[in-house]
Amino acid sequence: MNLDNKLTLTISCPDRVGLVAAVSQFLAKNNVSILDANHHTDSETQWFFMRHEMLFDPEVISFEDLNKEFTFIAEHFQMKWAITPKKIKNKVVLLASKESHCLTDILHRWHEQELDCEIVAVIANHKEMEKFANWYQLPFHHIDFKTDKSAAFTQLEQVIEQYNTDTIVLARFMQIFPDALCQKFKHQVINIHHSFLPSFVGAKPYHQAYERGVKLIGATCHYVTADLDAGPIIEQEISRISHSDSVQDMVRKGKECEKSALARGLRYHLEHRVMVQGNKTVIFAD
Amino acid sequence: MNLDNKLTLTISCPDRVGLVAAVSQFLAKNNVSILDANHHTDSETQWFFMRHEMLFDPEVISFEDLNKEFTFIAEHFQMKWAITPKKIKNKVVLLASKESHCLTDILHRWHEQELDCEIVAVIANHKEMEKFANWYQLPFHHIDFKTDKSAAFTQLEQVIEQYNTDTIVLARFMQIFPDALCQKFKHQVINIHHSFLPSFVGAKPYHQAYERGVKLIGATCHYVTADLDAGPIIEQEISRISHSDSVQDMVRKGKECEKSALARGLRYHLEHRVMVQGNKTVIFAD
Amino acid sequence: MNLDNKLTLTISCPDRVGLVAAVSQFLAKNNVSILDANHHTDSETQWFFMRHEMLFDPEVISFEDLNKEFTFIAEHFQMKWAITPKKIKNKVVLLASKESHCLTDILHRWHEQELDCEIVAVIANHKEMEKFANWYQLPFHHIDFKTDKSAAFTQLEQVIEQYNTDTIVLARFMQIFPDALCQKFKHQVINIHHSFLPSFVGAKPYHQAYERGVKLIGATCHYVTADLDAGPIIEQEISRISHSDSVQDMVRKGKECEKSALARGLRYHLEHRVMVQGNKTVIFAD
Amino acid sequence: MNLDNKLTLTISCPDRVGLVAAVSQFLAKNNVSILDANHHTDSETQWFFMRHEMLFDPEVISFEDLNKEFTFIAEHFQMKWAITPKKIKNKVVLLASKESHCLTDILHRWHEQELDCEIVAVIANHKEMEKFANWYQLPFHHIDFKTDKSAAFTQLEQVIEQYNTDTIVLARFMQIFPDALCQKFKHQVINIHHSFLPSFVGAKPYHQAYERGVKLIGATCHYVTADLDAGPIIEQEISRISHSDSVQDMVRKGKECEKSALARGLRYHLEHRVMVQGNKTVIFAD
């Protein structure tokens, strides 16, 4: 199996009889093998979602022709679709502030080839993060958000664009993204919030959780939108706590949730397993 | 080991050096064996909590004298305390509405001697619940909440008092307790709410969860207070869901959380493992 | 949506390009809507598994013709397959011994229409179980295994056959099924074993777990085969324990695992979500 | 609160009435505050275990005198005991082979001050691990186990002794410790095995799990003894898998279990929360 010929096909469109037949016939005709297939029809909206991992044979049909010919089917069924070759890697920028656990967790998973992407840069408003970028021989950009927040975000935008970034990961980056950036990079900015949303939106969620006396804490990986902590949820994780846990203990236990929810959410995103529908996500998890 | 001589001692008071020494010396002097011991000091308030399971020997000291003599220590340390003999069982009334899964779950656990209490009656605003009370040969009271809600709660109060009830369990009872009853039976009314509070307070939490697109649903067992769904949390449980779960699927998966959170919470309460501190609980779980 | 026209199609066969196309084309041609679809290709054996929930229109094609016509595709691809109408319910017999928690759990889930089947009888070697069958107005058969085990199994077989039983659930039934019965009812007998297999095969698994000092206990729902506790695993569940848990505490905590693993496993089986491959299962969970 | 004056007292001895009283009286008399207290009596052996976190006042009594005076109580009750000052840190050596996820996970937790110890060296039989030791400015020792295993273990022992090591962590170190070393460093060598023991002892546990078709995989943190993978279990963690998970997917998901079980187990050990009883552990978790 030549992985260079591996493709991911994602489709969303109104559900209709004959849809799966048309797609699978097209693939069979062009000798494309289906490695993995997932469908979902939202029963409320009658909207159809599909993800295929598949293998094409360039001697039968070129990638360009495959795309061109699929356009006819796509138009007929009014599809939002994409065919992505596995060999083209997503360019990712990591943003951090003061806490390094999510940053180093992602860096090490990437180093171990668990995350299928190209990390192009690390950006932080705290210089202590530079060390970690250096370890993995990545460019580091320090941006100061204290003096002029607006200028800082302009600088951030420039760095993001300079790398042709596909995905921006807020690995415990504690600055609130302005609306314009949320719009511009819609469904491209992934945040980890340190509570099981919608509980404890905003600042100091572990303190909020401590005050409320909950018995479970959590973390939520979601796309960033203009509404703070209200974007489409990709993944959540929780951990059991007790009365004997101080806020500091909750922070420690919560870090585990943050790391795993972010790592799973990011992996789903990079492997085109996440499809956004309104303010919700369809996740074709593996 | 004669279980008739088993006692539970619970204490809460300001923390002081010598507190544990005074209590354990008193017990040793009277030949009381400690079977299980738990302490907790809240670091914020410097409040001390203790629970002992212990065995006394009536030939050395009577239960009455044990209580009388402990009063001196208790007053010296300004304790809120109780010594409860295991053989005196908590009288419990179960309240239900239309859904029977929590009701029958508790009834069967009680039947299997997993819950150390005397269930004295089942009350419901739906007559379909009578069958389940009959199975376990328990008195059943149907109270109609449709015509006159205030009269219904008066009737409910009378039934509760007629049985000298210690604990009232709202096993998916869908009527909101009036403030006066919440006050009167403070920390005696246990509710199961079908969300991981503080998310999705109030009506139709599974519909709220569906709308928000969360990846985890849950249930919360808590003491009922005048503030809806805001009382001290005793136990919580969660379950993983996905985009393919309809509201009906969430209801089904959530029932598991409701049953186990309520069963654990009620057991903790009956075994004097729950100590309330402000709007939070200390749980000496086993 | 007329649920009487709902069908489940399950397929397993060698994987080939064009397989999905052929099936989906056939369905589209006959105006059958796909409600839910799952595929899986085992990468080791290149074996293909599929499950469709779908809706047919009797005015377009009859159920009989749908079956007849599908036979051509099935033969061409060497499929093992079945099209099952949702309205034809699986006939289930429940077997129990002395412990009632799994038995009553299944009975109540069935009563609440969570399990899509017809429970036709309860069989037990302890008479105390009769009460529970009566509650749900089900026939009860007491079979004595003490005097003559072989005769008892003959009697058991007769009862099973008298009800045209499709599925036999061993709800903590503590007699070991003889090889002949395992063969005869292959992949029709579902057992719940009270350990996370393959740990603690055989008798008294909680005692074995206590001796070994594990920190997690569990339960395993599996098909019964001639090899004790070694059949294909359908579902597993675990619970955290600590040094303070006695064997009795482990039994109590383990019951939760047993109930939920068995309930989920049985539901998967009844909804044709389980496909056996060698000694392993493919589970198209919802 | 001067943390330099924080102590941990651990005790194990036969249970007797008056034991807790004697200890707590001694502490009160010397003005030692109890910050956290845990007891456990094993009901089978009537053995008593205790752990106290406490604060002493050097102006009232010196650390040396506290120890000396406690000896009288300890002898009277035949205690195995220790009073450890928090400021004296455990010296830890990390051993790894080819997989780096556990090694870097521990290193980063230590760097974030989550693990209360002094990591003194990293040893590995693969040179690729040197990089990670360098990042954290730790000495690295490469030992070759291919040519002469016995000589390699002699060299290993020398390195361990050269650092006055208290705790040896096998962070996916794939060489089997010889009996003599197991004896010499009894309850000082912590291993992470990549299965939920006692399932899948020995080599390639994920392959074994794949073959058996389990629905849960796990990891076990335990003390190393001469019996392979049979030492006292400290902590276990599991993860849900499905038929669609290849061995490689299981390896990836299992790494999460390995990291968290090892990190928790090691933390318990370093904070004197683990007490060994026969082949089992009492864990006073926080």
Question: CB neighbours of A4 closer than 8 A, spacing ≥ 6?
Answer: A85, A86, A87
Q: Name which of C144, C120, C140, C145 is nearest C130 in CA terms.
A: C140
Instruction: Pull the structure tokens for residue A174.
Output: 């504690």
Instruction: Out of A213, A216, A283, name the one closest to residue B243 (CB).
Output: A283
Q: Closest approach of chain C CAs to the CA of B128, in angstroms?
A: 13
Closest chain C residue by Cα to residue B100: C112
> Please, are residues D32 and D63 in contact by the beta-carbon 8 Å criterion?
no
For residue C73, the enclosing domain spans: 3-85
On whether both D80 and D127 belong to a single domain, the answer is: no
Q: Per residue in B112-141, pLDDT tens? A: 999 999 999 999 999 999 999 999 999 999
C111 and C223 inside one domain = yes
Residue D43's pLDDT is: 85
Give the residues across from B94 on adjacent strands: B122, B169
B242 with A197: Cβ contact below 8 A: no
Residue with tokens 């390195």: D159
Count of domains forming chain D: 2
Mutation target vs D (from B9, B20, B48, B240; most D CBs, 10 A cutoff): B20
d(CA B270, CA B84) in angstroms, rounded, equals: 11
The string of pLDDT tens digits covering residues A202-216 is 999 999 999 999 999
Q: Residue C1: its pLDDT value, please?
A: 65
Whether the CB of B244 is below 8 Å from some CB of chain C: the reply is yes
Label residue B152 exposed, middle or buried (CB < 10 Å: 0-12, 13-18, 19+). Answer: middle
Strands (E), chain C: 6-14, 33-42, 47-55, 80-85, 90-96, 117-124, 140-142, 167-170, 189-193, 216-223, 233-240, 274-277, 280-283
Mean pLDDT, residues C207-219 taken together: 97
Decide if C37 and A20 are in contact by the 8 Å CB cutoff: yes
- Which pLDDT does position C193 carry in this prediction? 97
Question: How far C64 CA sits from the closest chain B CA (Å)?
Answer: 31
> Which residue's entry shows tokens 């007491």?
C142
Average pLDDT over residues A188-196: 97
Residue A199 tokens, joined: 């509980």
Residues 6+ apart with CB under 8 A from B206: B194, B195, B217, B247, B250, B251, B254
Q: What is the pLDDT of residues A98-132, one digit of tens each?
A: 999 999 999 999 999 999 999 999 999 999 999 99
C262 pLDDT exceeds 80? yes
Q: What is the pLDDT of residues D215-268, one digit of tens each?
A: 999 999 999 999 989 999 999 999 999 999 999 999 999 999 999 999 999 999
**B6 chain-D contacts, CB cut-off 8 A:** none
The whole-number pLDDT of residue D273 equals 97
Find out whether A135 and A107 touch, Cβ atoms under 8 Å.
Answer: yes
Evaluate whether D179 touches D153 at the Cβ level (below 8 Å): no
Specify the CATH number for the domain of residue B272.
3.40.50.170
The catalytic residues of A are 229
Is the pLDDT at D201 greater than 70? The verdict is yes
Q: Establish if C238 touches chain A: CB-CB under 8 angstroms.
A: no
B40–A233 CB contact, under 8 Å: no
| pLDDT at C65 (0 to 100) | 97
Name the token pair of B228. 């809806």
Query: Which pLDDT tens digit goes with each residue over A226-245?
Result: 998 999 999 999 999 999 99
Cβ under 8 Å to C: D residues 6-45: 40, 42-43
Distance from CA of B73 to the nearest CA of D (A): 15
Helix (H) or strand (E) holding C158: helix C149-162
The residue among C134, C256, C264, C270 with the most chain B CBs within 10 A of its CB, best to mutate, is: C256
Q: Which of B85, B114, B142 is the last residue of a domain?
A: B85
CATH number, position A20: 3.30.70.260
d(CA B274, CA B281): 6
Give the pLDDT confidence score for residue A180 in this predicted structure.
95
Chains with 3+ CB–CB pairs under 8 A to A are B, C, D
Per-residue pLDDT of C2-32, as tens digits, reads 778 999 999 999 999 899 999 999 999 999 9
- A256 contacts in chain D (CB < 8 Å): 260
Residue D75 shares a structural domain with residue D114: no
- Distance from the Cα of B199 to chain C's closest Cα (Å) equals 25
D112 & D11 share domain: no
> Cβ–Cβ of A198/B200 closer than 8 Å?
yes
Q: At which residue do the structure tokens 């511009």 appear?
A: A184
Mean pLDDT, residues D124-145 taken together: 97
Cα–Cα distance between C38 and C31 in angstroms, integer? Answer: 19
Report the distance separating Cα C23 and Cα C17, nearest Å: 12
Among B52-56, B177-181, C242-246, D40-44, name the one with the lowest average pLDDT: D40-44
Q: What gap in Å lies between CA A231 and CA B18, rounded to an integer?
A: 53
Q: Above 80 in pLDDT, residue D3? A: no
d(CA C229, CA C231): 6
Cα–Cα distance for residue pair A108/A115, rounded to 1 Å: 9
What is the rounded distance in angstroms from the CA atom of residue C62 to the CA atom of residue C60?
7
| Main-chain phi, psi angles of A196, to 5 degrees | -85, 90
Closest by alpha carbon to D254, among D265, D243, D238, D233? D238
Indicate the pairing of strand A117-124 with strand A90-96.
parallel
Helix (H) or strand (E) holding D168: strand D167-170
CA nearest D35 in A: which residue?
Answer: A244
Say which of C17, C25, C33 has its CB closest to residue A31.
C17
Catalytic residue among B144, B179, B227, B229: B229
Q: What is the ipTM of this complex?
A: 0.94
pLDDT digits (tens, 9 = 90+) for A54-63: 999 999 999 9
Query: What residues have CB less than 8 Å from B269, skipping those under 6 apart?
Result: B167, B190, B234
One domain for residues C80 and C104: no
Q: Is B130 on the interface with C (CB under 8 A)?
A: no
Q: Quick one: average pLDDT of C76-101?
A: 96
Determine, for residues B104 and C108 on separate chains, whether the beta-carbon distance falls below 8 Å. yes
pLDDT (tens digit, 0 to 9) for every residue of chain B, 286 residues total?
677 899 999 999 999 989 999 999 999 999 999 988 898 999 889 999 999 999 999 999 999 999 999 999 999 999 999 999 999 999 999 999 999 999 999 999 999 999 999 999 999 999 999 999 999 999 999 999 999 999 999 999 999 999 999 999 999 999 999 999 999 999 999 999 999 999 999 999 999 999 999 999 999 999 999 998 999 999 999 999 999 999 999 999 999 999 999 999 999 999 999 999 999 999 999 8
3-state DSSP call for residue D107?
helix
Restricting to C residues 93-112, those with a Cβ less than 8 Å away from any Cβ of B are 100-101, 104, 108, 112
pLDDT of B145 reads 96
DSSP H helices, chain D, are: 19-29, 63-76, 101-111, 130-135, 149-162, 179-184, 205-212, 247-270
Q: Which of B30, B28, B27, B31 is nearest to B11 (CA)?
A: B27
| pLDDT given at position A2 | 77
Could you give the C-alpha distances from A100 to A124, A171, A237, A259, C249, in angstroms and in order? 10, 8, 19, 11, 41
Q: Return d(Cα D210, Cα B119) in angstroms, integer.
A: 48
pLDDT band at D1 (very low <50, low <70, confident <90, very high): low
Give the Cα separation of B40 and D34 in Å (integer). Answer: 10
Q: Are residues B59 and B94 in the same domain?
A: no
Encoded tokens for D23: 């200890």
The CA distances from residue B44 to A212, B15, B275, B277, in Å, are 15, 11, 16, 12
C contacts of B256 (beta carbons < 8 Å): 260
> Do the Cβ atoms of D215 and C233 come within 8 Å?
yes
CA distance to partner chain C, nearest, from residue B249 (Å) = 9
By C-alpha distance, the chain B residue nearest C105 is B105
Specify whether A174 is located in the same domain as A58.
no
Q: How far apart are CA B27 and CA B60, in angstroms?
A: 11
Please say which residue of C44, C59, C85 terminates a domain: C85
Helix axes D247-270, D101-111, angle to 10 degrees: 40
Query: Are C32 and C116 part of one and the same domain?
Result: no
Q: Which of D105, D166, D229, D245 is catalytic?
A: D229
Given this model, what pLDDT does residue B1 score?
A: 65
Same domain (yes/no): A146, A195: yes
Per the CB < 8 A criterion, the answer to whether C49 and C275 are in contact is yes
Cβ–Cβ pairs < 8 A, chains A and B = 79
For an interface test with D, give the residue of C215, C241, C286 to mutate (most D CBs within 10 A): C215
- D229 catalytic? Reply is yes
Q: Is A243 on the interface with B (CB under 8 A)?
A: yes
Vertex A113 angle, CA A111 and A117, to 5°: 90
Q: Are residues B187 and B68 in the same domain?
A: no
Domain boundary among C39, C59, C85: C85
What are chain D's partners, defined as 3 or more CB pairs within 8 angstroms? A, B, C
Percent of chain C with pLDDT over 70: 100
Q: d(Cα B6, Cα B34) in Å, to the nearest integer?
A: 10
Residue in C with minimal Cα distance to A43: C35
Cα(A212)–Cα(C155) distance, integer angstroms: 59
Q: Residue B233 and residue A215: Cα distance in Å, rounded?
A: 7
Residues pairing with B8 in the sheet? B53, B84
State the pLDDT at residue B81: 98
Please give the Cα distance from C240 to B285 (Å, whole number).
13
A229 touches D: beta carbon within 8 Å:
no
Q: Are residues D43 and D134 in the same domain?
A: no
pLDDT value for A1: 66
Q: Tell me which chain B residues have a C-beta less than 8 angstroms from the C-beta of D24.
A: 20-21, 24-25
Q: CA of D13, closest CA in chain A: separation in Å?
A: 26
Q: Which residues of D159-194 are buried (b: 16+ CB within 10 A; e: fewer)?
A: bbeebebbbbbbbbbeeebbeebbeebebbbbbbbb
How far does the CA of residue C69 sit from the closest CA of chain B (Å)? 31
Q: CB C35 to CB A18 under 8 A?
A: no
Residues C52, C189: one domain? no
